[in-house]
Structure 1
Amino acid sequence: MEAGSGIKSATSSIALEIAGFVKFTFIGYVSIGLSLGVLPVFIHNQLGYSAMIAGIVISLQYLSTFLFRGYAGNIIDKKGPKTAVLSGLAGFAISGLFLCIAFLFKEHHELCLILVALTRLITGFAEGLIGSSPINWAINTVGEQNTARSISYNGIASYGGLAVGAPIGILLADNYGIAGIGIVVFILGIVGYLLATRKNDAVIKSTEKRKSFASVLKTIAPYGICLTLAALGFGTISTFITLYYAYLNWTNAVLCLSVFSVFFILGRLIFAGAIDNYGGLKTAVACMALESVGLAVLWLANMPQVALVGAGITGLGFSLVFPALGVEAVKLVPGSNKGAALGAYGLFLDISLGLTGPLIGGVASHFGMLYIFPFSMGMVLLGLVSCLFIGQKIKSFKAQSNNAGI
């Protein structure tokens, strides 16, 4: 009993320690979530631009995040994750100020759109710097044996932040406009920055030779491509659900984001041991299959209540895809490149979310809004097939190695 209690105590202590780092991820993604359900409608309805333009502007954030992932990985490996986290939180504060400025020019549509686009770019910079930094900070502190847990908790913080931020953003926009969102984002960035300055950094000095970022990116690319395809389901919901609901004359679209996020978090909490028990690839395949079912329900939903069920199933399915594939990807690189590996892996999520705007927006514009979910479902199924292919290649390689050993 005493041994069991000691293990539980140690596990709880590690969990709390990881939570102390991923709270910065939570702050960042609350800031992102605040405008997620507001800006597409603001650009489309108030500024009068098309769904495709709205999607492209929203996707600028993911393009910017993509460009700064490698930079963040190098900072983490050379200077430590604390520097990257501080830079990201400062970026969120600045993006909040620019959103307030954009609101002041809401009657000048072109100028306002440019300012909103600039806000998205700054937000992308902030996300790029803070995206994987708390994970590395946690791993460097609690050890590599807790990599899967650190990645999972970070995901809970990110999607939990979106779940909290999205409905609050709607309330702020309804009462104070996007300036209200900008003020809250600025305050969150400053508070997060001050909290981060009080924590000790954790830099791992490895004797292994560092690979170039391009080499690391090439190494983990097969897993990253699977992630790109799987994340299109989430990207479609997060970017276009408000427009989808408006097209069908449904209300409370933000509930879809919240339900998705809640079930995403539940999936990571309830099935936290699946990756260690069954392996990353098997877990990812099962999750993508479930995510596809959720997207099919969203596609066939004839009432908003059914759409919420689809969003929940999609969130549950997508919940373990990132950590499952991430654990397998990080194994492939030396310890001196762990920060770069997580940054490179995160790039593929940025690629997916960056493609979502123009790609799904193009599907909506050319074929109709009703086709966005069957299309994204097809992409997720393609990701599932890609995972099966990688698994088969690994089995073949191991069989050849065993034969060579004999």
Structure 2
Amino acid sequence: MRTLVSKPVPEAALAPAHRPRPAPGVIAALFCGYLAVGLPLPVIPLFVHQRLGFGDLLVGLAIGIQFLATVLTRGYAGRLTDQLGGKRSALQGAVVSAVAGLLYLVAAWPGMSSSASLIIIIAGRLAAGLGESQFVTGCVSWSIASVGPQRAGMSMSWTGIAMFAALSIGAPIGMALYLHYGLAAAMMACILAPVLAALIVLGSTSYLSAGGDRLPFHLVLGRIWREGLGLMLQGVGLSGLTAFASLYFAARHWDNAGLVMTAFGIGFILVRLALGHLPDQLGGYRVALCSLLIEAVGQLLLWAAPTAWLALAGALVTGLGCALIFPALGVEALKRVPPANRGSAMAAFVAFLDIAYGIAGPVAGVIATHLGYAAVYLFGTACALAGGVLIAGPVRSRS
């Protein structure tokens, strides 16, 4: 297959890219847009299970199917970002994410049958996946372009802070809106958040990456498979938190299920703020290996927790472990592709995380049905340890 060639970007267009920190507008837009991901996370499982009356497998499907649309459109989002810039991709993604919120709102219409509501919820999750694919790929690549590749790890740390701050705040807000005002109120918030993100994107500076030879997307995937697979195995633990934590707490008659993602986000953000520079300084593989082992400990705590507070501690430790895996492995992934393929590399890299979410949700649903909700986190422990084994090879080779 022919290698795609882009026109070189004029040097004047590259000059704004050298910032000491990611562009504030990019981070602010990413935070607002990603609220639309966090808001429905604790709400949709409860709505599908308790209000619509469907079982755990369909709960997992309703959460996980979003990532089918995301992974199928990552190649398009990467090409769009490489060719037209992250700003364009982020703007398109924000618009589609708002459409997803509108579909969620329609699903809450009074008098609608359970089957019709479920179908519309699933359609909304597919639209959310399409929107997230473009929005996150665009924002992450846009942020890297604003600081340059030498600070890519730091840039990914900041974008991750924005995303998981949005998850930490969005999840309890979504739960509170749902419990006090119903699904419609929570889903209105899912419309407003990406609309605000789109307005911020429109007013922000566009940062472009250098042109040059571009590899086809499937060749990019082939170059970063190890880093992507490590990220995928890490994502299983987070998937278990997002899809089943609220039901796990309800089954144990524990309160404060909405604080699970808050605890995760606190651990995540603390590590990124304090140690986000480590992947650039120490190398990604070594940081990723330590992080995967810490995630495994957090998942094990969740599995064995006798009280809600110990379960929240497990979520916190999981956040500590997950914090640097994305930037650590992302730095290594970027080293394996030409400069003009950085958008596609990020799209391919994150696609592995989408696969984790898409597969882990239904698999965890089967596990929860037959072995109970706690077993979901034992599964997450095993996957984190498997990721550590995978990454240990490059660590040894560089020692």
TM-score, L = length of structure 2 = 0.93
**Structure that is richer in helix per residue:** 1
Among candidates 50, 55, 77, match of residue 60 of structure 2: 55
Aligned partners of 1:106 and 1:312: how far apart in 2? Answer: 40
Q: What letter matches 2:95 in structure 1?
A: A
Partner in structure 2 of residue 404 of structure 1:
none
Partner in structure 2 of residue 353 of structure 1:
357
Among candidates 14, 17, 22, match of residue 20 of structure 2: 14
Among candidates 126, 144, 160, match of residue 149 of structure 2: 144
Among candidates 148, 158, 164, match of residue 163 of structure 2: 158
Give the C-alpha shift of residue 278 in structure 1: 2.1
* 3-state secondary structure, aligned to 2:276: coil
Partner in structure 1 of residue 5 of structure 2:
none
Contact 2:228–2:352 (8 Å) recurs in 1:
yes
Contact 1:275–1:324 (8 Å) recurs in 2:
yes
Contact 1:166–1:257 (8 Å) recurs in 2:
yes
Instruction: Tell me whether 1:127 sits opposite 2:135 in the alignment.
Output: no
Q: What letter matches 1:203 in structure 2?
A: L
Aligned partners of 2:85 and 2:177: how far apart in 1? Answer: 36
Q: 1:106 to 1:124 in 2, by over 3 A?
A: farther
Aligned partners of 1:192 and 1:106: how far apart in 2? Answer: 32
Q: What letter matches 2:86 in structure 1?
A: P
Aligned-residue RMSD, C-alpha:
1.6
Q: What letter matches 2:173 in structure 1?
A: I
- Matched residue pairs, number? 382
Q: Give CA deviations for 1:99-140 in whole Å, capped at 9, x if unaligned.
A: 111100564100000011111111111110111211211222
Q: Give CA deviations for 1:320-369 in whole Å, capped at 9, x if unaligned.
A: 00100010011000011010000000001101111121111111112222
Give the C-alpha shift of residue 271 in structure 1: 1.2
Q: Give CA deviations for 1:348-404 in whole Å, capped at 9, x if unaligned.
A: 110111112111111111222231111110111000000012334x449xxxxxxxx
1:6-405 matches, within 5 Å, as 14-15=20-21, 17-105=22-110, 107-207=112-212, 209-392=213-396, 394-395=397-398
Contact 2:103–2:120 (8 Å) recurs in 1:
yes
Q: 1:128 to 1:105 in 2, by over 3 A?
A: farther
* 3-state secondary structure, aligned to 1:350: helix
Partner in structure 2 of residue 3 of structure 1:
none
* 3-state secondary structure, aligned to 2:208: coil
Moved more, 264-273 or 364-373: 364-373
Give the C-alpha shift of residue 14 in structure 1: 2.7
Consecutive unaligned residues in structure 2, runs of 5 or more = 1-17
Q: Give CA deviations for 1:200-258 in whole Å, capped at 9, x if unaligned.
A: 32222423x21100000110011100111111111111111011111111111111111
Give the C-alpha shift of residue 80 in structure 1: 1.1
Moved more, 181-190 or 266-275: 181-190
Larger radius of gyration: 1
Aligned partners of 1:37 and 1:357: how far apart in 2? Answer: 14
Give the C-alpha shift of residue 187 in structure 1: 1.8
Contact 1:222–1:390 (8 Å) recurs in 2:
no
Contact 1:280–1:325 (8 Å) recurs in 2:
yes
Contact 1:105–1:112 (8 Å) recurs in 2:
no
Q: 1:273 to 1:106 in 2, by over 3 A?
A: farther
| Percent of residue pairs bearing the same amino acid type | 35
Contact 2:151–2:280 (8 Å) recurs in 1:
no
Aligned partners of 2:231 and 2:210: how far apart in 1? Answer: 29
Aligned partners of 1:63 and 1:182: how far apart in 2? Answer: 21
Aligned partners of 1:267 and 1:166: how far apart in 2? Answer: 20
Aligned partners of 2:53 and 2:146: how far apart in 1? Answer: 49
Partner in structure 2 of residue 402 of structure 1:
none
Aligned partners of 1:148 and 1:196: how far apart in 2? Answer: 22
Aligned partners of 2:228 and 2:210: how far apart in 1? Answer: 26
Q: What letter matches 1:33 in structure 2?
A: G
Q: 1:58 to 1:13 in 2, by over 3 A?
A: same
Aligned partners of 1:197 and 1:67: how far apart in 2? Answer: 26
Contact 2:152–2:280 (8 Å) recurs in 1:
no
Aligned partners of 2:384 and 2:342: how far apart in 1? Answer: 27
Moved more, 287-296 or 267-276: 267-276
Aligned partners of 2:68 and 2:111: how far apart in 1? Answer: 24
Aligned partners of 1:204 and 1:299: how far apart in 2? Answer: 44
Give the C-alpha shift of residue 155 in structure 1: 0.5
Q: 1:107 to 1:206 in 2, by over 3 A?
A: closer
Consecutive unaligned residues in structure 1, runs of 5 or more = 1-11, 397-406
* 3-state secondary structure, aligned to 1:201: coil
